[in-house]
Amino acid sequence: MKKVFFNILIMVAIFFIFDYTIYKINIQKYNLPYSYMFTKKIAVSDENDKDYIDNMLKFREPNIVPNSDKKPIVFTGCSFVYGTGLTDKQTITYKISDLLNTSVYNFGMCSYGINTFITLLKMGIFFDKVKEEPSLVIYIYIGCHLKRIVMPNMYFERNEFLYKPDRNNHLVRKRPPFIISHSALLSSIRSFIFDINFEYNKQYQKYLLKLLKIHILEAKRLINEKYPDTKFLVLLYFDSPLFEQIAPDLEKEGIIIIRVIEELGIDPHGPEYQLPDGHPNEKIWNEIAPLLANRLKEYL
């Protein structure tokens, strides 16, 4: 019995050694103590969600054009939309507002994707901020958003806004896996398994694409329940053969899709368009903004 107990202690010790090592490798720049992994509160509750959104999610101030006779435009997505590394005037939202002389809201959320935007819609936070019916909601899509709809981008997140479809293909919250969400090692293993499945498992790719489609359609449905005339547009920042598999289905449901490379003729992969960390710089938005603004005039 003592030998079994000793072996268990050894395995637990080995686990925590590896867990702490992974934590140290990945989390030093965020200056969070290791104890944070065990004390963070992850729970599916309106109170916890609202507290997280109020205190942890930071949004750009909207670009409001006084006395404009045009309906506002809303952008959502990740740090590409938010404009990580850029000033307010360097962001795509500011430039579109200036070109079209209309108010533009920036719901870009660093390290998140459309799943977190779904939470803003379901909790009414979006409608509290956007009180006038917008002409367009524009979601800037990049490929890593597929991963973000099934697991958090950073394992030390205090909350996880993940959803699964019900029988009617409406999204309901998933309860986070408690042990995995509190372990750097297990979160890294989960991410590794995702990468392997994503690369080699065609059925898993189809599942992710179906889930992404449901998220996009759910966002449109939730918006149109309050703002029935608002159009939903996906701006495909990089070419994505995977996304193109669901594009026809989305377009049949009234989703507008604009492709930066194919339709606007700009390839954002070039280093001249990127900040040192890979985020878009002002140059790419200077080139995209006038072309996109001309396209958007069709829908205003």
pTM of the model: 0.93
Look at residue 271 in the predicted model and tell me its pLDDT. 94
Q: Please give the full DSSP string across the chain, using - where no structure is assigned.
A: -HHHHHHHHHHHHHHHHHHHHHHHHHHGGGT--TTHHHH------HHHHHHHHHHH---PPPB--TT-SS--EEEEESHHHHTTT--GGGSHHHHHHHHHTS-EEEEE-TT--HHHHHHHHHTTHHHHH--S--SEEEEEE-TTHHHHTTS-SSTT-S----EEE-TTS-EEEPPP-HHHHT-HHHHHHHHHHHHHHHHH-HHHHHHHHHHHHHHHHHHHHHHHHH-TT-EEEEEESS--HHHHTTHHHHHHTT-EEEETTTTT---TTSGGGB-TTS-B-HHHHHHHHHHHHHHHGGG-
Look at residue 269 in the predicted model and tell me its pLDDT. 95
Q: Convert the pLDDT of each residue in 63-87 to its tens digit.
A: 999 988 899 999 999 999 999 999 9
Q: Is the pLDDT higher at 57 or at 231?
A: 231
Look at residue 25 in the predicted model and tell me its pLDDT. 81
Q: Is the pLDDT of residue 48 over 90?
A: no
Q: Convert the pLDDT of each residue in 263-279 to its tens digit.
A: 999 999 999 999 999 99
Q: Is the pLDDT of residue 209 over 90?
A: yes
Look at residue 293 in the predicted model and tell me its pLDDT. 97
Least confident stretch, 21-30, 123-132, 177-186: 21-30
Q: Is the pLDDT of residue 42 over 80?
A: no
Q: Is the pLDDT of residue 190 over 80?
A: yes
